[in-house]
Amino acid sequence: MDKKVFFKVVKILIKETKRFKKPVVGKLFEKDDPYKILISTIISLRTKDKITEEVSLKLFKVADNPYSMVKLNTTDIENLIKKSGFYRNKAKVIKNVSQTLIERFNGKVPDDMEKLLSLKGVGRKTANLVLSLGYGKIGICVDTHVHRISNRFGIVKTKNPYETEIELMKILPKKYWIVYNELLVIWGQNICKPVNPKCKECVLNTLCDRVKVGK
């Protein structure tokens, strides 16, 4: 897929994804504070959107800032987020991140990539979501959907999400950086699935290179 076709694909996705539900983190917290975005993104890892929404709202009714979160013990947090995958590890991360925010950043989520990555348990995907949704800073958040579909399109040939992020930053106009993640997450959840993608009903059928897609 060349750049001109890729830009056309992005424009089509902007129009076509409007008929589907937005990813839960963007839907719930894009106009809210960075702390909720940070914590809900941690909860969302390997967890379905419906559960992420339910669990995040349940947790934030009890503690919606780092100061109230650290007052809970790890078991309390575990019980509140128990429906999410790997909830025990996530509870430890949430507790630790909240404590670190208080100790190092006066309880405020930093708006800097390097500082966000210094938080134990926070990776580039989470950091980019916080920066883009929480602070409106441009960046390309690359999760499994973005990495997989960008390679399936044929616009990049990369081995991991970090490589994909770097290559997309060279290709994609900055005006699409923030929205690109949401577009591909929606498309990956509904049409361009990891297994048995719905190529026959996909509006991008004739544009996509369908790299490594079987029948």
59 touches 83 (CB < 8 A) = no
Environment class of residue 150 by beta-carbon count within 10 Å: exposed (0-12), middle (13-18) or buried (19+)?
A: buried
Q: Percentage of the chain with pLDDT > 90?
A: 85
* From-to residues of CATH 1.10.1670.10 in the chain: 3-22+140-201
Residue-wise over 33-66: b if at least 16 C-beta within 10 A, else e?
ebbbbbbbbbbbbebebebbbbbbeebbeebbbb
Q: Is 208 annotated as a binding residue?
A: yes
Which H or E element spans position 134?
Answer: none
For residues 215 and 212, give the distance between their C-alpha atoms in angstroms, rounded to a whole number.
10
For residues 85 and 83, give the distance between their C-alpha atoms in angstroms, rounded to a whole number.
7
* From-to residues of CATH 1.10.340.30 in the chain: 24-135
148 touches 160 (CB < 8 A) = no
What Å distances lie between residue 6 and 26, 176, 213, CA to CA?
A: 24, 12, 18
Q: What CATH number labels 3-22+140-201? A: 1.10.1670.10
Q: Is 141 annotated as a binding residue?
A: no
What does pTM read for this prediction?
A: 0.85
| pLDDT tens, the chain, 215 aa long | 999 999 999 999 999 999 998 877 665 555 568 999 999 999 998 888 889 999 999 999 999 999 999 999 999 999 999 999 999 999 999 999 999 999 999 999 999 999 999 999 999 999 999 998 889 898 999 999 999 999 999 999 999 999 999 999 999 999 999 999 999 999 999 999 999 999 999 999 999 999 999 75
For residues 6 and 3, give the distance between their C-alpha atoms in angstroms, rounded to a whole number.
5
CB atoms within 10 A of CB 73: 10
Q: What CATH number labels 24-135? A: 1.10.340.30
